[in-house]
């Protein structure tokens, strides 16, 4: 009786292998591509703000604009836009004849409803509330005309509703009924009604999301029928999956692992221009908006000369070589170099480079003589001893910290790294309880927000709330320039203002930009062709990748089927284990049965 | 550790409950259940204290890399309930727990209970399969080793299991992951998938799905088995050795039974008693091993969820997984007590 | 470690001889002596500049060579020197956490065994509650709340590993107190404190010693796991941080086995060393106990 049961189980496993077949062979007609994605927490377009989520939302919900290959806004849902002479009224013509994936027409009313919801409902404002703060009113004049009135002229209007980095527009008829409990709605009624090259067909929390091609997309159905975005916790696992063909594309790989993919067969490992920087913040004397002192920051750092000396003490090129394995650029300007139209670099005679001797000179001259191993402030007798907050989960922070400790020691400053959780670090930051902090920021093509966090308006109120300052930097001249750029509609003029703002930040040394890291990608050219990586520039760097364009244009190659071999081996081992166990059990039963007789 | 545990267990089973409890099953069960309930309540208090002694504000972390206005930040603080004073949060916590709720995760915008519900089954699968295999293997090795202790077989089995017990779980996992996915030396590349518990977008019959899951399960399961098997070898081996000198074995031999039969029919059933309880008690340790294994293999279970909660840290989620993991250990202890009672004829007879 | 000398009984010399006849005991002790010796003497031959990334001279993740017998890490430091230096932090955390756990566990076990009425029963209930808590999730939660670093990891490990000792010590205390010499001492006017410290403790001490060697093994494993999960102090060199760096920097994908394997093997050896020594002592103390 029992033996039959086991035989049955063995047969079951064997037939599972036979009947089921290996992955991806049964549905040969559906062209599936699996790629790596970072972690996805929620796909509710009003709540999502992680890159991995935004990449998906950009492909399943429309926006007024999308990016072209040079990261400039081009029309998407909005066919054209006109502005009034006072630049306060924007009139958008909405593309006609487009339909949500449930067949309902897409109209200006959907767009107006979405914007108004974000402006009035605090749950809906969770992710993108800051983008509409300057909006006075949004109305749909008719099905094809959207009118937005702003409080002050707003130069970055095209970036407000743009794929991936801006506001996605949702179908009013679907979301009207979701308003109650919007803050917890998971957007899990698959397939999700939206519009874009893809449709969200399913999502398993912490595992993968499945997108299916939208056959009604106005530029034609994408070549990939099914796009799966799979999450891996572990970089080694991601690289292993890429090597074995389990995934076709991965982004944001660590330098060491990426290098191991260079030259691998069927893999194009390429680097994108940097969109973020890693830096070290120095507390210039944290204050509230009204000038009240905050926190336990060391007052010595309020001296610009000390900060300048620190800037001279850091060897940025070595950090690029050692921490990034050479895969980055030494830092200087505040806007990352991927955005060539806005990026700024100091001229040759303005550069503060690695010069410990000069740093020592500055400190000597500024009244910080050496006293034993470390310097002291000759006025207060206080030692130059600072804390350095690092993100405990950030490998690069941990790699950089010991270098800073060594270089600071060379100029007579004692630096003590303190690894903290993100919340712990940000808590201390907001309270002003810090001396130096590791910091990193990335930005989309519109740097407005990145620049805004250095304005005085982002300092906390006297009760400690209401602040979202980067590092308690506050400069009236910088603030005036910030206001000025927001109303400059000529990109060239705006870029010139950005340059002056970046100069101010560079001279203040409150945010010392250490490096910009390349984004390291790899794509399996034997799994997808025509993946629009662009062409590399003279230094071997590729332009910034746009998930929207990449997925829309990539063409899947018929799978070579190499990954199936592993599946059969796995099944074979599993079957062998079961058979062995069954055999052992059977023998045992037979022997005990004999004893019982 | 396992030795101390075995010794400790011996002490525990003797003095576990006062004599009058044992008169019949239900009062005994009731007493144990009450004890478990008290343990659970105390665990809740400990859990709340740990996670609320230092209230952390995750809002700055969420908004750090994203355009946010001060108004948005204030709203988010309110949404997450971190703007409330500690006493208010404690009342909320008690209220929620009484209703079986575990609060809402800070980072996922959904209830902790639903997240845990999704991740429970993969963990049960992983821990369950590894425990079954490790117990079967461990008992077999333990019996053989104990019966002929000092033999070459015993020394090899004990030595290997001792070494495996000393291996850090995640380190072993990392090595197996790289060797069996990327390949090394004669081992071909792509033998096993690099993480997760299923091939996304897999299509096929349900049997093929089972095959696919097994394929993904093999490496994490192997890692966990290798690390935990030593406990069972050690415990079974020492129980057998304890039985070796027992007079009933002498009697059995005197009756003319073969050595094999003496072992199988007399020594093993008696030695199994303490071992079975230990199997349940050990599940708590395995839960710890599962956190490391799930993290290395991106196995979407409770351990992995715990790890993901650490990043922010997402305290409600951490609190939720803590409560669920602890509760499962308490339940296992309860089951261990029950199993012991059912199996041990001495306890049953009284 | 003066494992052999501490039992103050007449048979201590005999025990030592017995200990030295066991090959596993010798091997375990040898491992411990080598590692402890290397850790203690490290400052004599490892200069701070060898560990300073700004002064590292080797190539990045260079394979083993004559100058770097175990290769180099990402900044170009010698993995061998890091390994030796890392022993200091790993052993220190393991030993200090164990000491804390032993003090706590022994005190509770002793008191619970001596005062057998409500105090003893209450303490045993507390112990049972802690036994019911899964140790790694509890340690993770504690470390997450206390903040990163060696101190919080040490505390977390100590809090999760004292229970076994408390139980053992209580059981032993009960056995010792049942012996006639305790009654004699009481009759001669010894107080509770005196009985516990002067009469019971010396008899329980060997057991505490065994328990502590086994706890150190567990504590070192726990330290590496917590550090691996990102709860340690990443700027300090320890075996856990080495594995963590190899993991987060995906050194393995690059084929840099010399960065991942040595710290793991060192952990295995030290844990083995403590376990083998502990078991040998346990076997001498109670010959019938599990060989």
Write down the pLDDT at residue A521. 92
Beta-bridged to residue A108, according to DSSP, are: none
- The pLDDT, as a whole number, for residue B23 is 54
**Closest Cβ opposite residue A421 in set C52, C74, C148:** C148
Cβ-defined contact of C253 to A236 (cutoff 8 Å): yes
Distance, CA of A399 to CA of A434 (rounded, Å): 20
Mean pLDDT of C125-148: 76
Mean pLDDT is highest, among A147-151, A235-239, A260-264, B137-141, for A147-151
d(CA A422, CA B61): 6
Tokens of B201: 């977008």
- Asked whether the beta carbons of residue C250 and residue A236 sit closer than 8 angstroms, the reply is yes
Q: Average pLDDT of C11-38?
A: 84
pLDDT at A152: 92
Residue in chain C closest to A403 (alpha carbons) equals: C54
Q: Do B54 and C137 touch (CB under 8 A)?
A: no
- Where in A205-359 does DSSP place strands (E)? 208-213, 226-231, 249-250, 267-272, 276-282, 328-330
- Is pLDDT above 60 for A2? no
Q: Which residue has the tokens 């060391």?
A: A298
CB contact under 8 A, C289 and B7: yes
pLDDT in tens, B218-230: 999 999 999 888 8
Query: What is the pLDDT averaged over residues C183-202?
Result: 84
Pick B310's closest partner by Cβ from C140, C225, C264.
C140
Q: Tell me which of B251 and A311 has the higher pLDDT.
A: A311
Q: Residue A591 — very low, low, confident or very high, per pLDDT cuts 50/70/90? A: low
Q: How far apart are CA A490 and CA A499, in angstroms?
A: 14
Q: ipTM of this predicted complex?
A: 0.84
Q: Distance from first CA to last CA of chain C, Å, rounded?
A: 22
pLDDT of C141: 75
Rounded to the nearest angstrom, the minimum Cα separation between A543 and chain B is 22
Helical ranges in chain C per DSSP H: 12-20, 23-45, 48-51, 79-114, 118-132, 135-146, 150-161, 163-177, 180-187, 192-194, 201-228, 239-248, 257-285
Contacts of A417 in chain C (CB under 8 A): 235
Distance CA B299, CA B305 (A): 9
Chain B residues with beta carbon closer than 8 angstroms to that of A240: 177-178, 181-182, 194
**Tokens matching residue A191:** 């397939």
pTM score = 0.83
Tokens matching residue A322? 């050692």
B118 contacts in chain A (CB < 8 Å): 205
Higher pLDDT, C79 or C233: C79
Contact A38, A50 (CB under 8 A): yes
Name the residue among A41, A246, A427 with its Cβ closest to that of B194: A246
Alpha helices in chain B (DSSP H): 2-15, 25-53, 59-63, 70-80, 86-98, 112-147, 152-165, 169-181, 206-244, 247-254, 259-262, 268-281, 283-296, 302-310, 315-343, 345-349
Report the C-alpha gap between A115 and A167 in whole angstroms. 8
What would the pLDDT profile of A123-178 be if each residue is shown by its tens digit? Answer: 888 888 889 989 999 999 999 999 999 999 999 999 999 998 899 999 999 999 98
Higher pLDDT, A555 or C12: A555
Q: Which of residues 77-116 of C touch B (CB under 8 A)?
A: none
Per cent of chain C over pLDDT 70 is 93
Report the distance separating Cα A93 and Cα A79, nearest Å. Answer: 6
Predicted local distance difference test score (pLDDT) of residue C11: 62
* pLDDT at C205 exceeding the cut of 80: yes
Which of the pair, C75 or A390, is modelled with greater confidence? A390
A366 confidence band (pLDDT: 50, 70, 90): very high
Token pair in block for residue A537: 């520039």
* DSSP calls for B164-193: HHTS-HHHHHHHHHHHHHT-BTTBPTTSS-
Instruction: Determine the distance from the C-alpha atom of residue A377 to the mean position of all C-alpha atoms in its chain, rounded to a whole number.
Output: 41
What pLDDT is attached to residue C264? 93
Q: Mark yes or no for CB contact C164/B167 under 8 Å.
A: no
- Residue C230, phi then psi, degrees to nearest 5: 90, 20
If you search the block for the tokens 């179908």, which residue do you land on? A171
SS3 C94: helix
Q: Do C53 and A417 touch (CB under 8 A)?
A: no
pLDDT of residue C143: 74
- Select from A520, A394, B305, A420 the least CA-distant residue to C245: A394
Chains that touch C (3 or more CB pairs under 8 A): A, B
3-state secondary structure A106-173: CCHHHHHHHHHHHHHCCCCHHHHHHHHCCEEEEEEEECCEEEEEECCCCCCHHHCCECCCCCCCCCHH
Q: Give the one of B73, B178, B313 whose C-beta lies nearest to A468's C-beta.
A: B73
Terminal alpha carbon distance of chain A:
17
Distance, in Å, from the CA atom of A424 to the CA atom of A440, rounded to the nearest integer, reads: 16
C155 contact partners, CB below 8 Å, separation of at least 6: C97, C100, C142, C146
The rounded distance, in Å, linking the Cα atoms of C48 and C55 is: 10
Q: What is the nearest CA distance from A501 to chain C, expressed in angstroms?
A: 33
Percentage of residues in chain A with pLDDT exceeding 70? 91
- Minimum Cα–Cα distance from B132: chain A residue: A581
Question: Which DSSP helix (H) or strand (E) runs through A498?
Answer: helix A491-508
**Cα→Cα distances C265→A93, B165, C138, Å:** 67, 13, 27
How far, in Å, CA of B306 to CA of B319, rounded?
Answer: 9
Q: Do B74 and A466 touch (CB under 8 A)?
A: yes
Average pLDDT (B298-321) is 84
pLDDT (tens digit, 9 = 90+) per residue, B131-142? 999 999 999 999
Q: Cβ A390–C233 below 8 Å, yes or no?
A: no
- To the nearest whole Å, the CA of C197 is away from the closest chain B CA by 23
The pLDDT assigned to A386 comes to 95
Q: Which residues of B touch A427 (CB under 8 A)?
A: 56-57, 60
Highest mean pLDDT among A128-137, A498-507, C2-11: A498-507
First to last CA, chain B: 32
Q: How confident is the model at residue C286 (pLDDT cuts 50, 70, 90)?
A: low
Give the pLDDT score at A307.
Answer: 96
Q: Encoding tokens for residue A353? A: 């480079």
Q: Within its chain, how far is the Cα of C171 from the centroid?
A: 22
A316 versus C213: the higher-pLDDT residue is: A316
Note whether A393 contacts C149, CB cutoff 8 Å: no
For helices B315-343 and B302-310, the axis angle rounded to 10 degrees is 150
- CB-CB under 8 Å, B208 with A21: yes
Q: Show the tokens assigned to A596.
A: 């019982």
Mean pLDDT to the nearest integer, C220-230: 85
Place of tokens 């941080």: C241
What is residue A557's predicted lDDT score, i.e. its pLDDT?
81
Tokens (6 digits) for A554: 């990539």
Q: How many Å apart are CA A557 and CA A545, to the nearest integer?
A: 21
Nearest Cβ partner for B306 among C125, C137, C290: C137
Angle between helices B283-296 and C201-228 (to 10 degrees): 20
The winner for highest mean pLDDT among A78-87, A544-553, B282-291 is: A78-87
Between the ranges A357-371, B276-290, B300-314, C64-78, where is the mean pLDDT highest? A357-371
Calculate how close chain C gets to B204, using CA atoms only, in Å: 32
Closest CA to A503 of A451, A453, A456, A459: A451
The predicted structure's pLDDT at residue C161: 85
- Taking alpha carbons only, the member of A151, A192, A148 closest to residue A170 is A192
Name residue, tokens 């449930």: A102
According to the model, what pLDDT value does residue A135 have? 93
- Which pLDDT belongs to residue B345? 58
Q: Which residue of A has its CA nearest to B192?
A: A566
Closest chain B C-alpha to C100 CA, distance in angstroms: 17
CA distance B6 to A345: 68
Does B284 touch chain C if contact means CB atoms closer than 8 Å? yes
Rg (CA), chain C: 22
User: For A435-444, A504-513, C234-243, which range has the lowest pLDDT when averaged over its residues?
Assistant: C234-243
Asked if the C-beta of B325 comes within 8 angstroms of chain C's C-beta atoms, the answer is yes
Lowest mean pLDDT among A355-364, B167-176, C19-28: C19-28
A-interface mutation test, from C249, C257, C259, most A Cβ less than 10 A away: C249
Q: What is the CA radius of gyration of chain A?
A: 28
**All chains having 3 or more CB pairs closer than 8 angstroms to chain B:** A, C
pLDDT at A593: 58
Q: Three-state DSSP class for A295?
A: coil
Q: Answer yes or no: are the C-beta atoms of B117 and B212 closer than 8 Å.
A: no
User: For residue B34, what pLDDT is reported?
Assistant: 85
Instruction: Check pLDDT > 60 for residue B155.
Output: yes
List of residues 6+ apart from A95 with CB closer than 8 A: A75, A76, A77, A78, A79, A106, A218
Distance (Å, whole) CA A364 – CA A306: 10
Q: Which of C132, C136, C167 sits opposite B291 (nearest CB)?
A: C136
Among the listed residues B289, B44, B226, B293, the one whose alpha carbon sits nearest the alpha carbon of residue C136: B289
Residue with tokens 């996670």: B51
Angle between helix A395-410 and A304-313 (nearest 10): 110
pLDDT in tens, B88-122: 777 777 777 777 777 788 888 788 888 898 888 99
Residues A554-580 have pLDDT tens digits of 888 865 444 455 566 667 777 777 788
Q: What is the mean pLDDT of chain A?
A: 86
DSSP secondary structure code for residue B264 in this structure = I
Q: CB distance C145–B54 less than 8 Å?
A: yes
Q: Considering only the beta carbons, identify the residue of B12, B50, B166 that sits closest to C145.
A: B50
Instruction: Give the C-alpha separation, A233 to B147, whole Å.
Output: 44
Cα separation, A201 vs C189, in Å, equals 82
| CB proximity list for B217: less than 8 A, separation 6 or greater | B125, B126, B129, B197
Q: Work out the minimum CA distance from A29 to partner chain B, whole angstroms.
A: 12
DSSP state of C196: I
Provide, for chain A, the percentages of residues in helix, strand and coil under a 3-state DSSP scheme, each rounded to the nearest 5.
Answer: 35, 20, 45
What letter does residue A376 receive in the DSSP assignment?
Answer: B
**Joined tokens for residue A447:** 């740097």
- Best-predicted range by mean pLDDT (A441-455, A538-552, B278-292, C138-152): A441-455
Question: Searching chain C, which residue's CA lies closest to the CA of residue A260?
Answer: C254
Average pLDDT, integer, range B163-171: 90
Question: A2-11, A45-54, A330-339: which range is least confident on average?
Answer: A2-11
Contacts of B56 in chain A (CB under 8 A): 421, 423-424, 427
Q: Which residue has the higher pLDDT, B19 or A577?
A: A577
Tokens describing residue C143? 């470390």
CB contact under 8 A, B190 and A565: yes
Omega cis (within 30) before B313:
yes
Cα–Cα distance measured from residue A61 to residue A198, given in angstroms and rounded to the nearest whole number: 9
Greatest Cα pair distance, chain C, in angstroms, is 74
Q: How confident is the model at residue A513 (pLDDT cuts 50, 70, 90)?
A: very high
Residue B54 banded pLDDT, cuts 50, 70, 90: low
- Under a CB-based contact definition with an 8 Å cutoff, are residues A266 and A415 in contact? no
Query: C223: helix, coil or strand?
Result: helix
In angstroms, the CA A333 to CA A499 distance is 9
For residue B127 the two structure tokens come to 């821990």
Two structure tokens written together for B349: 């007879």
Choose the most confident range, by mean pLDDT, from A84-93, A181-190, B320-329, C199-208: A84-93
């Amino acid at each position: 009786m029992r033996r039959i049961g086991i035989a049955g189980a063995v047969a079951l496993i064997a037939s599972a292998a036979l009947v089921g077949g290996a992955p991806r062979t049964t549905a040969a007609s559906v062209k599936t591509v699996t790629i790596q994605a970072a972690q996805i927490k929620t796909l509710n377009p009003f709540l999502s703000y992680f890159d991995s989520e935004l990449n998906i939302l950009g492909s399943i919900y429309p926006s007024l604009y999308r990016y072209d290959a040079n990261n400039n806004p081009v029309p998407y849902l909005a066919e054209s836009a006109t502005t009034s002479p006072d630049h306060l009224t924007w009139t958008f013509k909405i593309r006609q004849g487009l339909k949500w994936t449930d067949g309902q027409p897409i109209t200006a009313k959907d767009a107006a409803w979405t914007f108004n919801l974000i402006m009035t409902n605090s749950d809906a404002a969770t992710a993108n509330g800051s983008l509409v703060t300057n909006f006075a009113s949004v109305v749909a004049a008719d099905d094809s005309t959207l009118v937005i009135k702003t409080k002050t002229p707003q130069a970055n209007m095209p970036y407000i509703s743009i794929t991936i980095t801006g506001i996605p527009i949702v179908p009013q008829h679907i979301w009207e009924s979701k308003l109650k409990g919007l803050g917890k709605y998971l957007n899990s009624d698959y397939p999700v009604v939206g519009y874009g090259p893809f449709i969200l067909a399913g999502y398993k929390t912490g595992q993968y999301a499945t997108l299916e091609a939208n056959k009604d997309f106005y530029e034609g159905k994408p070549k990939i029928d099914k796009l799966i975005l799979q999450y891996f916790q572990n970089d080694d696992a991601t690289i292993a999956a890429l090597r074995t063909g389990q995934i076709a594309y991965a982004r944001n790989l660590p330098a060491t692992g990426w290098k191991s993919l260079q030259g691998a067969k069927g893999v194009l490992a390429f680097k994108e221009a940097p969109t973020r920087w890693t830096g070290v913040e120095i507390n210039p004397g944290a204050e509230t908006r009204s000038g009240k002192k905050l926190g336990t920051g060391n007052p010595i750092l309020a001296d610009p000369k000390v900060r300048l000396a620190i800037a001279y003490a850091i060897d940025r090129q070595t950090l690029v070589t050692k921490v990034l394995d050479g895969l980055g650029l030494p830092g200087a300007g505040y806007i990352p170099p991927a955005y060539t139209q806005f990026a700024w670099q100091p001229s040759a005679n303005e550069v503060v480079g690695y010069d410990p001797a000069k740093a020592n000179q500055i400190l000597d001259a500024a009244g910080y003589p050496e006293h034993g191993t470390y310097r002291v402030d000759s006025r207060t007798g206080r030692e130059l001893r600072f804390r350095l907050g690092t993100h405990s989960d950030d490998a690069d922070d941990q790699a950089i910290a010991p270098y800073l400790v060594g270089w600071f020691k060379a100029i007579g400053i004692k630096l003590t790294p303190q690894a903290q959780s993100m919340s712990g670090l940000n808590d201390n930051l907001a309270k002003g309880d810090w001396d130096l902090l590791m910091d990193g920021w990335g930005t989309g093509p519109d740097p407005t927000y990145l620049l805004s966090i250095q304005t005085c308006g982002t300092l906390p109120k006297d009760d400690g709330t209401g602040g979202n300052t980067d590092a308690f930097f506050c400069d009236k001249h910088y603030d005036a320039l910030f206001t000025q750029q927001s109303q400059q509609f000529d990109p060239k003029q705006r870029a010139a203002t950005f340059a002056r703002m970046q100069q101010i930040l560079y001279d203040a040394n409150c945010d010392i930009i250490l490096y910009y890291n390349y984004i390291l990608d790899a794509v399996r050219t034997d799994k997808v062709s025509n993946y629009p990586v662009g062409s590399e520039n003279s230094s071997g760097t590729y332009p910034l990748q746009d998930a929207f364009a990449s997925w829309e244009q990539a063409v899947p190659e018929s799978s070579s089927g190499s990954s199936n071999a592993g599946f059969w081996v796995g099944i074979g081992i599993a079957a062998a284990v079961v058979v062995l166990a069954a055999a052992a059990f059977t023998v045992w039963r037979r022997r005990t049965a004999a004893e019982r007789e | 550790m396992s030795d101390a545990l075995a010794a400790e267990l011996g002490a525990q089973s003797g003095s576990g409950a006062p004599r009058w409890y044992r008169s019949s099953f239900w009062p005994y069960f009731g007493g144990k259940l009450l004890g478990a309930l008290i343990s659970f309540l105390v665990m809740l208090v400990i859990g709340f204290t740990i996670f609320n002694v230092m209230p952390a504000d995750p809002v700055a972390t969420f908004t750090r890399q994203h355009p946010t206005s001060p108004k948005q930040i204030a709203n988010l603080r309110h949404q997450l309930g971190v703007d409330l004073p500690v006493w208010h949060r404690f009342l909320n916590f008690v209220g929620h727990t009484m209703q079986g709720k575990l609060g809402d995760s800070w980072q996922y915008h959904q209830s902790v209970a639903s997240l845990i519900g999704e991740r429970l089954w993969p963990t049960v699968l992983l821990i369950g399969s590894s425990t079954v295999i490790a117990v079967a293997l461990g008992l077999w090795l333990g019996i053989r080793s104990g019966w002929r202790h000092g033999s070459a077989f015993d020394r090899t089995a004990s030595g290997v299991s001792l070494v495996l017990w000393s291996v850090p779980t995640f380190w072993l996992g990392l090595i197996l992951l790289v060797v069996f996915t990327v390949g090394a030396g004669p081992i071909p590349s792509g033998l096993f998938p690099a993480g997760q518990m299923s091939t996304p977008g897999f299509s096929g019959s349900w049997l093929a799905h089972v095959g696919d899951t097994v394929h993904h399960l093999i490496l994490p399961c192997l890692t966990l088995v290798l690390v935990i098997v030593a406990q069972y070898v050690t415990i079974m081996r020492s129980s057998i050795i304890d039985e070796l000198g027992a007079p009933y074995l002498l009697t059995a031999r005197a009756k003319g039974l073969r050595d094999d039969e003496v072992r199988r029919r007399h020594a093993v059933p008696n030695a199994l008693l303490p071992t079975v309880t230990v199997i349940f008690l050990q599940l708590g340790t395995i839960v710890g091993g599962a956190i490391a294994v799930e993290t290395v293999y991106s196995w979407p279970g409770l351990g992995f969820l715990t790890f993901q909660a650490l990043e922010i840290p997402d305290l409600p989620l951490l609190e939720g997984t803590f409560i669920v993991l602890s509760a499962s250990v308490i339940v296992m202890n309860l089951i261990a007590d029950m199993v012991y009672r059912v199996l041990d004829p001495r306890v049953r007879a009284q | 470690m003066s494992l052999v000398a501490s039992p103050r009984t007449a048979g201590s010399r005999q025990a030592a001889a017995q200990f030295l006849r066991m090959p596993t005991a010798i091997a375990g002790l040898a491992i411990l002596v080598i590692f402890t010796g290397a850790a203690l003497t490290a400052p004599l031959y490892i200069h701070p500049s060898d560990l300073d990334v700004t002064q590292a001279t080797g190539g990045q993740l260079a394979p083993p060579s004559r100058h770097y017998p175990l290769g180099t890490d990402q900044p170009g430091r010698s993995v061998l020197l890091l390994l030796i230096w890392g022993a200091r932090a790993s052993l220190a955390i393991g030993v200090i956490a164990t000491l804390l756990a032993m003090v706590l566990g022994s005190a509770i076990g002793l008191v619970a065994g001596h005062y057998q009425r409500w105090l003893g029963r209450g303490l045993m209930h507390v112990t049972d509650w802690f036994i019911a808590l899964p140790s790694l999730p509890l340690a993770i939660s504690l470390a997450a709340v206390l903040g990163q670093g060696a101190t919080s990891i040490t505390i977390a490990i100590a809090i999760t590993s004292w229970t076994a000792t408390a139980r053992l010590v209580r059981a032993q205390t009960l056995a010792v107190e049942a012996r006639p010499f305790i009654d004699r001492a009481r009759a001669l006017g010894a107080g509770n404190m005196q009985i516990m410290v002067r009469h019971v403790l010396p008899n329980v001490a060997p057991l505490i010693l065994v328990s502590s060697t086994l706890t150190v093994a567990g504590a070192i494993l726990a330290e590496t796991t917590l550090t691996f999960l990102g709860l340690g102090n990443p700027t300090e060199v320890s075996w856990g941080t080495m594995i963590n760096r190899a993991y987060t920097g995906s050194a393995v994908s690059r084929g840099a086995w010399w960065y991942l394997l040595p710290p793991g093997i060192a952990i295995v050896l030290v844990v083995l060393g403590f376990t083998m020594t502990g078991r040998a002592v346990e076997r001498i103390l109670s010959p019938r106990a599990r060989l």
